[in-house]
Amino acid sequence: MKFSALKHFAIAASIFLTGSLAIDAQTPTPTPITDDGDVIKVDSRLVVVPVSVTNAAGEPVLGLKASNFKVSEENRPQVVESVSDAENVPLEIALLFDISASTDAMFKFQQETAAKFLKDVLRGEDRATIFTVGQRPVLIQARDTAEKSITGILSIRPTKEQTAFYDSVTEAANYLQKNSPQGRRKVIVLISDGEDTNSEGVTRAIWNAERKIADNTSNEALRELRVKARDTAKVVEQIKVLKALQNADTVLYAINPGGSSFQLNKMSIFGQENMQKFADETGGTAFLPKFLPIDLKDERQNSVNAGKNTALLETIFKQLANELRAQYLVQYYSEAEFPTNKFVRLDVGLQTPGNLRVRARQGYYVKN
């Protein structure tokens, strides 16, 4: 039996045994046995890449086949084995709401628009999970139907808590990896400014730094020490989150309710950069809408601005829905030998891209 035939046999067997196409990002192929009894060692692994394709208007491009795509792994061209489209692959969404004070002003219309989004985008087999991002990650609604998840969304109340941003994204990624059945697309939709003030890794780094200082340290020196420890820890936590997202084969989409105000301070800038990096690396999008203020003294202007903000958020969720409808699962076999935990860079595109836009994960961590 030729090697390429064995690959197709492995895919067919997976569909027969599970009822759907397994999409563990790295499924090793079985060791084939030849007719004369000799064993041929096959070290290839199946790699699955979620890919969305939209046109210049942001509309989904449907009907693409394996022959339309091209994939390179560490600059080495790969053979695309198969492509599954969104219509045939159920969706798992983890929706994360930041409940800290930084998002309080516009929280209600975010809830209502997100609830409408789930109602519009989820089909019968699809499931959603709801988390809040506060002092710690909290599971509000375990994976369930759109109806149950909408009830969970509308029950959330904003607080004045600190924000464990990194811990919350990691918790959601791990939840999807553990609880999503095989053969499903996995997506995190995050409504947050990306700022972190309370994740365990960040607070632990600050405490460790404070323990090393002398009693006579000035307040200014202490403040600088805390800031340096916090910023260093955030870079470390960022890497941990990215690994959790990649290992869970999850695409992240982010909506920053802070809008253009993110430029006001260093923490806000880093927060948006966080979400942009997570989205870029996983094949998602980080939206930065320019919301208008709704806490002015002029109530009439507040009402007008709220209506414009709602319309803008609805547009963003419509674009997000389009991307999810345009999402493919591109699959190929990697025969390269990489050490465990190496991050393998990917480049995914179309044979004839034209004016189409392709978003895909930028790599994966090797799991042997």
Spell out the residues 6+ positions from residue 163 whose beta carbon is closer than 8 angstroms to its own: 98, 100, 102, 133, 134, 135, 192, 195, 196, 197, 198
pTM (predicted TM-score): 0.82
Residues of the chain with CATH 3.40.50.410: 91-325
Can you give the pLDDT of all 368 residues of the chain as single tens digits? Answer: 444 444 443 443 343 333 334 344 565 444 343 444 443 334 578 898 999 999 998 888 989 999 999 999 999 999 999 998 888 889 999 999 999 865 566 788 889 889 999 999 999 999 999 999 999 999 999 999 999 999 999 999 988 788 999 999 999 999 999 999 987 899 999 999 888 888 988 888 878 877 766 556 667 777 777 778 777 888 889 999 999 999 999 999 999 887 655 555 777 888 888 899 999 999 999 998 888 888 889 999 989 988 898 899 889 999 899 888 889 999 999 989 899 989 999 999 999 999 999 999 999 999 86
- Exposure of 269 by Cβ count < 10 A (0-12 exposed, 13-18 middle, 19+ buried)? middle
H helices of the chain, in order, are: 3-18, 107-121, 146-154, 165-179, 200-211, 219-247, 266-282, 299-325
Is the separation of the CB atoms in 316 and 287 below 8 Å?
Answer: yes
Residue 317 — φ and ψ, nearest 5°? Answer: -65, -30
Q: Domain 91-325 falls in which CATH fold?
A: Rossmann fold (3.40.50)
CA 106/CA 363 separation, integer angstroms: 35
Calculate the CA 167 to chain-centre distance.
14
Dihedral through CA 196, CA 198, CA 204, CA 206, nearest 10? Answer: 70
